[in-house]
């Protein structure tokens, strides 16, 4: 006969983030979003995303990532370099990716270097198109190792 005595389960531990604000969640598959209320600008700005980055706001700087989506409300003035790039909004600058898709609402002014390119009817494009000769010229720079010292200083000063 099974034991019928009541058992008390231990309460689950409180949820804690396993990643500090200064650590990267490398290997994750989340999406980072630059919202419609956000404008990022400055000298020599570079945004690096290890996963998917959706831009619905305005960026004046360069972007490197695995997958970059520029939403209908989004705009980038600078170079966009990723494995895949989808443009629904505006880009003024160079685009480099293995796969580039310009959707009907896209407005692009700049050169596109690609392996595969799709331009939907209605997309506005003013620039030159060139198929990459080798994959290395399309590879985004996702190396953030130079930021480790900044993270470590922030962690030790914040303790």
* Domain contains 37: yes
Domain range enclosing 41:
31-133+144-152
* Domain contains 1: no
Amino acid 141: pLDDT? 85
CB atoms inside a 10 Å sphere around CB 88:
22
Please tell me the total count of domains within the chain. 1
Give the tens place of pLDDT for each residue, 73-111: 999 999 999 999 999 999 999 999 999 999 999 999 999
* Domain contains 42: yes
Query: Distance between CA 134 and CA 18 in Å, rounded?
Result: 39
Q: What percentage of the chain carries pLDDT values higher than 90?
A: 63
- The answer to whether the beta carbons of residues 68 and 51 sit under 8 Å apart is no
Give the tens place of pLDDT for each residue, 148-157: 555 556 666 6
* Domain contains 138: no
CA dihedral for 66, 140, 126, 58, sign (positive or negative): positive
* Domain contains 12: no
* Domain contains 113: yes
* Domain contains 63: yes
Amino acid 136: pLDDT? 85
* Domain contains 88: yes
Q: Provide the pLDDT confidence category of residue 6 given band limits of 50, 70 and 90.
A: very low
Mean pLDDT in the chain? 83
Give the tens place of pLDDT for each residue, 19-65: 434 344 445 578 999 999 999 998 889 999 999 999 999 999 999 99
**Predicted structure pTM score:** 0.75
Contacts of 124 (CB under 8 A, 6+ apart): 106, 107, 108
């Amino acid at each position: 006969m099974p034991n019928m005595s009541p058992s008390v389960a231990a309460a689950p531990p409180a949820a804690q983030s396993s990643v500090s604000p200064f650590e990267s969640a490398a290997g994750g598959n989340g999406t980072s979003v630059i919202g419609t209320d956000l404008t990022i600008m400055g000298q020599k700005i570079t945004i690096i995303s290890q996963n998917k980055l959706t831009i619905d706001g305005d960026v004046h700087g360069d972007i490197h990532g695995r997958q970059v989506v520029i939403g209908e409300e989004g705009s980038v003035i600078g170079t966009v370099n990723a494995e895949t790039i989808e443009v629904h909004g505006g880009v003024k600058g160079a685009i480099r990716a293995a796969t580039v898709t310009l959707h009907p609402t896209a407005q692009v002014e700049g050169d596109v270097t690609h392996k595969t390119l799709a331009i939907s009817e209605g997309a506005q494009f003013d620039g030159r198109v060139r198929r990459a000769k080798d994959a290395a010229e399309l590879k985004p720079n996702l190396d953030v190792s130079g930021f480790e010292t900044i993270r470590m200083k922030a962690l030790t000063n914040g303790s």
